Amino acid sequence: MRKITVVIALAALAGCVPHRPEAARSGTAPSDPDVTTYYDRNQDGLVDLEFHDPGCCDRDWALVDTDFDGRYDKRAQWSYALVKDVIDLPVPRNVVVTTGRPPLSGWQN
């Protein structure tokens, strides 16, 4: 009976492994359901918003360069509430930039 309980507990925990932002950011894992879209909101040739859409469950998140200096300074995550964290990461180079408006609200403040 203990072995069955341990196996069930380990199987349940296997689904709780956190999503690694660096894997989603690279976009190299074809099995990863996360779709990453890059935006150049001020048309200066540099990415200033990286939007991640995992495809379900209201878990969208983004890296944002709010002051357009070539470095992300905010991470926003949508869930039951908007969560914003201060970060400092360089924006990616040599990625396909999507034209149009990003599907975001509330991340600028």
What would the pLDDT profile of 73-107 be if each residue is shown by its tens digit? Answer: 999 988 777 888 999 999 999 999 887 777 655 55
pLDDT at 36 over 70: yes
Sheet containing 35-39: give its strands across. Answer: 82-90, 71-78, 61-64, 49-53, 35-39, 97-98
Q: Which domain holds residue 51?
A: 20-98
Q: What pLDDT is stored for residue 4 in this prediction?
A: 61
In a domain, 109, yes or no: no
Taking the C-alpha atoms of residue 71 and residue 10, their distance in angstroms, rounded to an integer, is 39
Instruction: For residue 25, give every residue at least 6 positions away whose Cβ sits within 8 Å of its Cβ, in sequence order, or none.
Output: 36, 50, 52, 63, 92
Confidence label for 72 from pLDDT (cuts 50, 70 and 90): very high
In a domain, 30, yes or no: yes
CA-CA distances (angstroms) from residue 44 to 7, 48, 63, 86, 88? 53, 9, 17, 23, 20
Q: What pLDDT is stored for residue 38 in this prediction?
A: 95
In a domain, 68, yes or no: yes
In a domain, 105, yes or no: no
In a domain, 60, yes or no: yes
What would the pLDDT profile of 40-66 be if each residue is shown by its tens digit? Answer: 998 899 999 999 988 777 788 999 999
What would the pLDDT profile of 4-35 be if each residue is shown by its tens digit? Answer: 655 566 556 555 444 444 444 444 444 457 89
Q: What pLDDT is stored for residue 25 in this prediction?
A: 47
In a domain, 107, yes or no: no
Q: What pLDDT is stored for residue 108 in this prediction?
A: 54
Taking the C-alpha atoms of residue 41 and residue 57, their distance in angstroms, rounded to an integer, is 26
In a domain, 5, yes or no: no
Q: How many structural domains is the chain composed of?
A: 1
Q: What pLDDT is stored for residue 106 in this prediction?
A: 53
In a domain, 3, yes or no: no
